[in-house]
Amino acid sequence: MIVVMKSKSNEEDLNEVLDLIEEEGFEAHLSQGVETTIIGLIGDTAGKEQVKSRLQAFSSVEKVIAVLDPFKLTGWKFKPEKTVIKLDEVEIGNGKPVVMAGPCAVENEEQLMTTAKAVKEAGAEILRGGAFKPRTSPYSFQGLGEEGLKLLAQAREETGLKIITELMDLEHLELVAEYTDIIQIGARNMQNYPLLSAIGKLDKPAMLKRGMSATIREWLLAAEYIMCEGNQQVLLCERGIRTFGEETRNTLDLSSVPMVNELSHLPVIVDPSHGTGRWELVNPMARAAVAVGADGLIVEVHPNPKEALSDGPQSLKPKKFAQLMADINTITDSLGNSKGSRWPSAI
Ligand code: PEP
Ligand code: MN
């Protein structure tokens, strides 16, 4: 249920409404825009006609809308302004694509520091690197664990880059949250609901990758699991889905970007590395992602892809990554002001 306040209502009016919402056992999510103040009721409001009538009785309330669509917190109805995730001066969702780059896995100090410095110099703002790796085979390199997290923190210290790393299970939640700026939830864990609910209780941005066979609806509902626990700082990441081809690792579904922008205020990041599995395709798909309205990219970069312990074939060498940055800047510039206000009616 959503309460739209009258434009002339004041703080006292708002507090009265918030008190009633609390009294009725719901949590209120406030969205104060320039023109309108909207309050979303978090909790199951189905069949609560009496609550609706009580709210409608306030003279300060413009209208009360029952939200029937499933995207209660991710959808535009609930929050008619684009979500911007802020990490100090880095802003994701403000119209200018933000690039996250780094190795698939943190392997050692030299590999990480060399990569971090190179991606920083090329213009990336966030360093990626897995410390806990969800590998298809149990015999493949599984990541350095806490040692990897420490190296990421060291790289942040030395370069000023923010960091993103994957959390694989509840057991490591506190540990990973302590080190990272953004928690990555991998494709394989998109429907790990206890993990999503636990992240929902944190005050830390989370990037939810699309499951490899997930529909857009399932992906957004997974984001609802995080948001309904209170954490509104969610980023979505399109990383390709399984189809029939063998030439690419996955099929990068770029149509999901404008589709999600139609349905949701959450920023969307595109991963052309896992999306294709081939370094030659990363630059063209990155350019395309920015052109269709992605709020950012996550790209795998390795100083020596041939020796990489994971995902070498899809990793860019630093020089090729610098070229990618230059190319996407050209696309961003050519889009001009048409980016930044991409919610449905504005397209
Ligand atoms: C990764 O980002 O390294 C990764 C494992 O991605 P995904 O969960 O999309 O497979
Ligand atoms: Mn990888």
- CB neighbours of 335 closer than 8 A, spacing ≥ 6? 290, 291
Query: Which pLDDT value is given to residue 337?
Result: 62
Instruction: Say whether both 257 and 216 belong to one domain.
Output: yes
Strands (E), 227-338: 234-238, 268-270, 296-300
Nearest CA to ligand 1 atom 9: 187
Residues 121 and 262 in one domain: yes
Index of the ligand 1 atom closest to the CA of residue 240: 9
Judge whether 76 lies within some domain: no
Q: Which ligand is nearest to the CA of 133?
A: 1
Residues 117 and 254 in one domain: yes
Please give the Cα distance from 335 to 61 (Å, whole number): 39
Closest CA to ligand 1's atom 6? 186
Indicate whether 50 and 164 sit together in one domain: no
Residue 209 CB–ligand 1 contact under 6 Å? yes
Q: Round the average pLDDT of the chain to a whole number and report it.
A: 94
Between 113 and 49, the higher pLDDT residue: 113
Report yes or no: 14 and 59 within 8 Å, Cβ to Cβ.
no
CATH of the domain at 298: 3.20.20.70
pLDDT of residue 309 exceeding 70, the answer is yes
The rounded distance, in Å, linking the Cα atoms of 284 and 306 is 21
Ligand 1 pocket test, pick from 169, 184, 213 with the greatest ligand atom count within 8 Å of Cβ, gives 184
* Residue 93 included in any domain: yes
Residue 270 in contact with ligand 1 by CB distance below 6 A: no
Q: Which domain holds residue 179?
A: 85-346
Ligand 1 atom with minimal separation from the 134 CA: 5
In a domain, 114, yes or no: yes
Task: Report yes or no on 75 lying in a domain.
Answer: no
Of 70-84, 189-203, 263-277, the one with minimum mean pLDDT is 70-84
From the CA of 93, how far away is ligand 2's center (Å)? 24
Percentage with pLDDT > 70 across the chain: 97
Atom of ligand 1 nearest to the CA of 239: 9
User: Are 56 and 163 in the same domain?
Assistant: no
Ligand 1, atom 8, lies closest to the CA of 186
| pTM (two decimals) | 0.88
Q: Give me the pLDDT at residue 69, please.
A: 78
**Ligand 1 center–CA 129 separation, angstroms:** 10
Task: Read off the pLDDT of residues 51-70 as tens digits, 9 standing for 90 and up.
Answer: 999 999 999 999 998 877 78
| Number of domains composing the chain | 2
Domain termination residue (choose one: 30, 65, 100): 65
Q: Which residues on adjacent β-strands are paired with residue 323?
A: none
- The contacts found for 39-47 with CB under 8 angstroms, 24 or more apart, are 39/2, 39/3, 39/5, 39/14, 40/1, 40/2, 40/3, 40/67, 40/72, 40/73, 40/78, 40/79, 41/1, 41/2, 41/3, 42/73, 42/228, 45/1
Q: Does residue 239 have its Cβ closer than 6 Å to ligand 1?
A: yes
**One domain for residues 132 and 201:** yes
In angstroms, the Cα distances linking 103 to 53, 131, 309, 310 are 55, 10, 10, 9
Q: How far apart are CA 184 and CA 100, in angstroms?
A: 12
Instruction: Using the atom order of ligand 1, give the atom closest to the CA of residue 271.
Output: 9
CA separation for the pair 149, 301 (Å, rounded): 18
Q: Which of 43, 89, 60, 101 is nearest to 224 (CA)?
A: 43
Is residue 29 located within the same domain as residue 125?
no
Q: What is the mean pLDDT of residues 10-37?
A: 90
Q: Looking at the structure, do residues 221 and 284 belong to the same domain, yes or no?
A: yes
- 214 located within any domain: yes
pLDDT reported for residue 77: 85
**pLDDT score of 85 more than 60:** yes
Judged against a pLDDT cut of 60, whether residue 346 lies above it is answered with no
Q: With a 6 A CB cut-off, is 240 part of the ligand 1 pocket? A: no
Predicted local confidence at residue 78, as pLDDT? 83
Among residues 15, 37, 65, which one ends one of the domains? Answer: 65
> 130 CB under 6 A from ligand 1?
yes
> Do 39 and 182 fall into the same domain?
no
**Residue 296 pLDDT exceeds 60:** yes
pLDDT tens profile 277-292: 999 999 999 999 999 9
74 is a domain residue: no
Ligand 1 atom 4, closest CA: 186
> How many Å lie between the centroid of ligand 1 and the Cα of residue 294?
18
Higher pLDDT, 27 or 132: 132
Higher pLDDT, 202 or 337: 202
**Looking at the predicted structure, is the pLDDT value of residue 339 above 70?**
no
CA distance 96 to 81: 16
Mean pLDDT of 28-40: 86
Is 80 within a domain?
no
- Residue 347: band (very low, low, confident or very high) from pLDDT cuts 50, 70, 90: very low
The reported pLDDT for the residue numbered 341 is 43
CA distance 90 to 85: 8
Could you read off the pLDDT of 93-120 as tens digits, one per residue?
999 999 999 999 999 999 999 999 999 9
The CATH number that applies at residue 61 is 3.30.70.1140
Query: Domain check: are 35 and 125 in the same one?
Result: no
Cβ of 274 less than 6 Å from ligand 1: yes
Same domain, 155 and 230: yes
- Is 77 a domain residue? no
**pLDDT tens for residues 222-280?**
999 999 999 999 999 999 999 998 999 999 999 999 999 999 999 999 999 999 999 99
| Ligand 1 lined by 302 (C-beta under 6 Å) | no
337 lies in the same domain as 202:
yes
